Amino acid sequence: MLLSKQKGMNGISLDQLEEIAGGLALGFYMLMFMALATLLFGSAGQGFLLLLAGSIAHIGRAGIEEYVAQARGSDARGRVRAKLRD
């Protein structure tokens, strides 16, 4: 079975889930910009609500990306390697 044909949650393909995660990432940055702008223009309450909405978008994106990485196998996951000595 090809990777693009694998099914994720509720029959949605993994590629479609990655597109949703990309949209959530864009939404996150837009919400953060809007929160900053509303805070600078004096609406602290609305800025706080936009910060909360942005954090929810960020958590959703991270969860979807983690799910896709697990569904595709451990080879698709990025591994962090630290060089301790020269």
Q: Give the whole-angstrom CA distance, residue 5 versus residue 28.
A: 28
Q: Please state the pTM of the whole predicted model.
A: 0.69
> Which is nearest to 24 in space by CA: 10, 4, 16, 8?
16
Q: Phi and psi of 13, rounded to 5°?
A: -70, 160
The full set of domain ranges for the chain reads: 28-73
Task: Provide the pLDDT confidence category of residue 71 given band limits of 50, 70 and 90.
Answer: confident
Residue pLDDT, tens place only, 19-46: 999 999 999 999 999 999 999 999 999 9
DSSP letter (8 states) at residue 5: G
Q: Give the whole-angstrom CA distance, residue 16 versus residue 41.
A: 37
